[in-house]
Amino acid sequence: MELQENLDIFEWNDIRICAISYDPVEVLDRFAEKHNITYPLLSDVDSQVIRRFGILNTHIPEAHPWYGVPFPGTFMVKEDGTVIDKSFYADHGVRDSVDGMLQ
């Protein structure tokens, strides 16, 4: 919710936000509606993109219902697709702050 609450700050800094999840589109739609999320939520049901980006949470066993979830984190990407910064965490309770992302 912190991203949505600060969306105007990102836009003012010419930063566009999107999020990727292993959840299906229907789940993301309900989540977006419930929390008034207006930035794109990208569905990667088979975690193919998550794997290609190297952010598959390897602490979750394949038999677990959450298998496929990415590590929480952030990619900062220029318009040409160049990754200029990234940070990811093993603990789902840890997230980058908005101030940290803007720096």
The first and second tokens of residue 26, run together, are 């229907």
Taking the C-alpha atoms of residue 5 and residue 10, their distance in angstroms, rounded to an integer, is 10
**Between 87 and 57, residue with greater pLDDT:** 57
pTM of the predicted model as reported, rounded to 2 decimal places: 0.77
Please report which confidence band the pLDDT of residue 90 belongs to, taking 50, 70 and 90 as the band edges.
Answer: low
**pLDDT at 91 > cutoff 70:** no
Among left, alpha and beta (phi > 0; psi -120 to 50; other), residue 14 is: left
Taking the C-alpha atoms of residue 23 and residue 26, their distance in angstroms, rounded to an integer, is 8
pLDDT tens digits, 19-72: 989 999 999 999 999 999 999 999 999 999 999 988 888 888 899 988 888 888
Taking the C-alpha atoms of residue 103 and residue 95, their distance in angstroms, rounded to an integer, is 15
